[in-house]
């Protein structure tokens, strides 16, 4: 996923914003890591009670990782639906065509 994301940022940015695309790429990776950590912490707190070890206990033999992974599969399915919606909504930017048309009109292109 990250390779395709980096290619997307590089293909859909003007030439003057090379570092901005890379910064967005790295920011999305770091935010994903934070959200992943927060999700594990939230599941531990919500699923653990006084007598029940919860979904992700210290000893994984007593936990229910299957429930955690089913929850992750559900979140991934919701992400897929959001992706499909955004894909239908997004209009591709053809930067090469803009550069070629500007050159043919005699405008300077940086």
- Residue 56 inside a domain? The answer is yes
In a domain, 15, yes or no: yes
Question: pLDDT band for position 108 (50/70/90)?
Answer: low
The SS3 assignment for 80 reads helix
| pLDDT of 100 over the 70 cut | no
Instruction: Enter the pTM of the model.
Output: 0.67
Q: Which range is least confidently modeled, 8-12, 19-23, 27-31, 103-107?
A: 103-107
| 24, part of any domain | yes
Domain count, the chain: 1
Q: Read off the pLDDT band of 18 (50, 70, 90).
A: confident
Which helix or strand (DSSP H or E) is residue 85 part of? Answer: helix 65-89
What pLDDT score does 3 carry?
77
Residue 98 has pLDDT above 50, yes or no: no
- When the pLDDT of each residue in the chain is averaged and rounded to a whole number, the result is 82
Residue 64 counted as domain residue = yes
In a domain, 110, yes or no: no
What contacts 24+ positions apart, CB below 8 Å, involve 90-93?
92/12, 93/12
Model confidence over 31-75: pLDDT tens digits? 999 999 999 999 999 999 888 889 998 888 888 999 999 999 999
Range of the domain at 34: 2-104
Angle, CA 73 vertex, CA 68 and CA 75 arms, to 5°: 95
In a domain, 109, yes or no: no
60 assigned to some structural domain: yes
> DSSP string of 10-59?
HHTS-GGGHHHHHHHHHHHHHHHHHHHHHHHHHHHHHH--SS---SS-SS
């Amino acid at each position: 996923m990250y390779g395709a994301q980096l290619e997307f940022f590089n293909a859909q940015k003007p030439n003057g914003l090379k570092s901005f695309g890379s910064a967005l790429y790295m920011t999305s990776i770091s935010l994903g890591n934070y959200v992943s950590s927060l999700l594990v912490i939230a599941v531990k707190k919500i699923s653990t009670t006084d007598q029940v070890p919860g979904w992700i206990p210290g000893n994984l033999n007593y936990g229910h990782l299957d429930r955690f992974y089913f929850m992750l599969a559900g979140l991934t399915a919701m992400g897929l639906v959001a992706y499909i919606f955004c894909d239908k909504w997004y209009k591709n930017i053809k930067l090469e065509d803009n550069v070629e048309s500007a050159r043919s009109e005699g405008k300077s292109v940086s």
